[in-house]
């Protein structure tokens, strides 16, 4: 499994990410490729990466017949994971490698994250979608805490550094010194974005995929999921069945409270497994409220909720919303917090279930 973490203001649409995705697909490893849109909050970004790593490896193990279940990544499982990080994503990849014991490829990585990102506090727009977001002083504090977690590299052999001496944003010598004793490729000239990344891609993949066998066609298909967004007319049949199963049958919400006349006004998201079975759903209202998040019981703890929430948040940002709001059931608050949502106000009851408002500003 490869988990790619993009840099500050970047996205899964970056050139490097697209080249990696294409190369993985050509090798029959599309199901082992994960590249999320990271939230602005470093703490939320790291937690999202941890969740995706654990969900991806647990799913892969289940399909291989190892029946790991939802357990932390470690040991042999970590050996099947490589985190590739660019710029700030390289700092995140280093943190994850130390936390999980996996391999990491660092592409012009940030070394002193709190120092370098302190200058970026304020309003920004992403490079590949012109989406607005805020980088807050508290985010610098989160970077400082993460940096304190990794004072030294415990196993240099699991790192591969690519650093360009022509990096116009960061000092390549700091990268070289930080990853002394690790495998290094110092590129003469070049730039921060590694415009000639295609030239170095085979070497990156050789390191990242060492001792990794492609999934069989059956395993690859089982691991592959897709997320669709659309109207109630297009997705309502599948979304409605999931909501009835989760809310009405499982949580005993009265049907007349679960169904409302706002579905026709909403954008809906549905996640399907490789067999075309609908396994999770959620909706985005015109006013920016996210709701009716539901994942069928057999697929919980496998990253389906993250796929849904990411799709709905991205849709809100694309249409110009400045924030998204949701009413979180109390047990789900940690999940939403990992995705950058902040609690506000007190607890209230809805359909007999305790909730709290959570908001994420862009």
Contact 20, 84 (CB under 8 A): yes
Task: Based on the fold, state whether residues 25 and 72 are members of the same structural domain.
Answer: yes
- Sheet with 353-361: strands ordered across: 226-230, 267-272, 278-284, 289-295, 323-329, 353-361, 342-350
User: CATH code at 294?
Assistant: 3.40.630.30
Higher-pLDDT residue of 55 and 141 is: 141
| Range 27-42 average pLDDT | 88
Q: Which of these three, 218, 250, 268, is where a domain ends?
A: 218
Q: Find which of 41-55, 83-97, 323-337 is predicted with most confidence, using mean pLDDT.
A: 83-97
| Same domain membership, residue 242 and residue 196 | no
- Separation between Cα atoms, residue 78 and residue 106, nearest integer Å: 17
More confident residue, 284 or 352: 284
Whether residue 339 contacts residue 39, with contact meaning beta carbons closer than 8 Å, is answered with yes
**Is 60 exceeded by the pLDDT of residue 62?**
no
Task: Quote the CA–CA distance of 135 and 27 in Å, as a whole number.
Answer: 37
Nearest-Å Rg of the Cα atoms of the chain is 21
CATH number of the CATH domain containing 149: 3.40.50.1820
Q: Is there a single domain that holds both residue 51 and residue 170?
A: yes
Residues 8 and 119 in one domain: yes
Query: Do 230 and 213 fall into the same domain?
Result: no
Which of the four pLDDT bands, split at 50, 70 and 90, describes residue 223?
Answer: very low
Average pLDDT, the chain: 87
What's the pLDDT at 70? 45
Q: Tell me: do 69 and 187 sit in the same domain.
A: yes
Length of the chain: 362
Q: Which residues are within 8 A (CB) of 158 and not within 5 positions of it... i.e. 6 or more apart?
A: 97, 101, 102, 103, 104
For residues 239 and 134, state if they share a domain. Answer: no
pLDDT band at 217 (very low <50, low <70, confident <90, very high): very low
- Of 207-221, 268-282, 317-331, the poorest mean pLDDT is in 207-221
- Of 4-8, 227-231, 240-244, 351-355, the poorest mean pLDDT is in 351-355
pLDDT at 215 exceeding the cut of 90: no
Mean pLDDT, range 135-139, rounded to an integer: 96
Is 174 in the same domain as 208? yes
Query: What domain count does the chain have?
Result: 2
**Structure confidence by residue, pLDDT tens digits, 172-210:** 999 999 999 899 999 999 999 999 899 899 899 989 987
Last residue in a domain, options 218, 238, 271? 218
If asked whether residues 242 and 203 sit together in one domain, one would say: no
Question: How much is the pLDDT for 130?
Answer: 84
Q: Quote the CA–CA distance of 186 and 188 in Å, as a whole number.
A: 6
Do residues 24 and 145 both lie within one domain?
yes
Calpha distance 51→4 (Å, rounded): 14
Q: How confident is the model at residue 97 (pLDDT cuts 50, 70, 90)?
A: very high
CB atoms within 10 A of CB 274: 16
Of 203, 218, 233, which one is at a domain's C-terminal end? 218
- Whether 213 and 267 map to the same domain: the answer is no
Distance CA 40, CA 122 (A): 11
Which pLDDT score, from 0 to 100, does residue 69 have?
47
pLDDT at 90: 97
Task: Report yes or no: 69 and 58 within 8 Å, Cβ to Cβ.
Answer: yes
Asked if residue 255 and residue 189 are part of one domain, the reply reads no
* Three-state secondary structure string covering the chain: CEEEECCCCCCCCCHHHHHHHHHHHHCCCHHHEECCCCCCCHHHHHHHHHHHHHHHHHHHHHHCCCCCCCCCCCHHHHHCCEEEEECHHHHHHHHHHHHHCCEEEEECCCCCHHHHHHHHCEEEECCCCCCEEEECHHHHHHHHHHHHCCCCCCCHHHEEEEEECCCCCCCHHHHHHHCCCCEEEEECCCCCCCCCHHHHHHHHHHHHCCCCCCCCHHHHHHHCCEEEEECHHHHHHHHHHHHHHHHHHHCCCCHHHHCCCCHHHCEEEEEECCCCCEEEEEEECCCCEEEEEEECHHHCCCCHHHHHHHHHHHHHHHCCCCEEEEEEEHHHHHHHHHCCCEEEEEEEEECCEEEEEEEEEC
> Which range marks the domain in which residue 320 is found?
225-361
User: Is 73 a residue whose pLDDT tops 70?
Assistant: no
What does the pLDDT look like over 293-348, one tens digit per residue? 999 998 887 778 888 988 898 889 888 899 999 999 898 888 888 778 899 989 99
Q: How far apart are the first and last CA of the chain?
A: 30
pTM over 0.75: no
């Amino acid at each position: 499994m490869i988990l790619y973490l993009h840099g500050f203001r970047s996205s899964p649409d970056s050139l490097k990410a697209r080249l990696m995705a294409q190369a993985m697909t050509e090798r029959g490893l599309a199901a082992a490729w994960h590249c999320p849109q990271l939230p602005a909050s470093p703490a939320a970004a790291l937690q999202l990466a941890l969740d995706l790593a654990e969900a991806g490896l647990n799913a892969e193990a289940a399909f291989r017949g190892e029946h790991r279940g939802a357990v932390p990544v470690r040991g042999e499982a970590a050996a099947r994971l490589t985190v590739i990080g660019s710029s700030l994503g390289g700092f995140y990849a280093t943190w994850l490698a130390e936390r999980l014991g996996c391999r990491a490829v660092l592409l012009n990585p940030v070394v002193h994250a709190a120092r370098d990102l302190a200058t970026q506090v304020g309003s920004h727009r992403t490079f590949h979608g012109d989406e607005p977001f805020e980088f807050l002083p508290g985010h610098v504090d989160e970077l400082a805490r993460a940096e304190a977690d990794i004072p030294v590299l415990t196993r240099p052999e699991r790192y591969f550094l690519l650093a360009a001496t022509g990096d116009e944003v960061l000092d390549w010598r700091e990268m070289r010194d930080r990853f002394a004793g690790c495998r290094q490729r110092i590129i003469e000239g070049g730039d921060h974005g590694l415009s000639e990344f295609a030239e170095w891609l085979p070497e990156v993949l050789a390191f990242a995929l060492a001792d990794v066998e492609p999934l069989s066609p059956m395993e690859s298909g089982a691991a592959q999921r897709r997320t669709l967004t659309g109207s109630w007319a297009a997705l309502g049949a599948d979304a409605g069945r999931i909501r009835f199963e989760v809310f009405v049958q499982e949580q005993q919400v009265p049907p007349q409270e679960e169904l409302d006349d706002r579905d026709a006004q909403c954008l809906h998201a549905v996640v399907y497994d490789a067999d075309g079975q609908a396994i999770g759903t959620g909706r985005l209202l015109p006013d920016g409220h996210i709701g009716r998040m539901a994942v069928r019981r057999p697929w919980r703890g496998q990253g389906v909720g993250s796929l849904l929430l990411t799709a709905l948040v991205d849709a809100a940002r694309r249409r110009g919303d400045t924030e998204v709001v949701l009413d979180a059931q109390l047990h789900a608050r940690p999940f939403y917090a990992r995705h950058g949502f902040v609690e506000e106000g007190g607890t209230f009851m809805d359909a007999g279930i305790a909730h709290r408002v959570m908001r994420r500003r862009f």
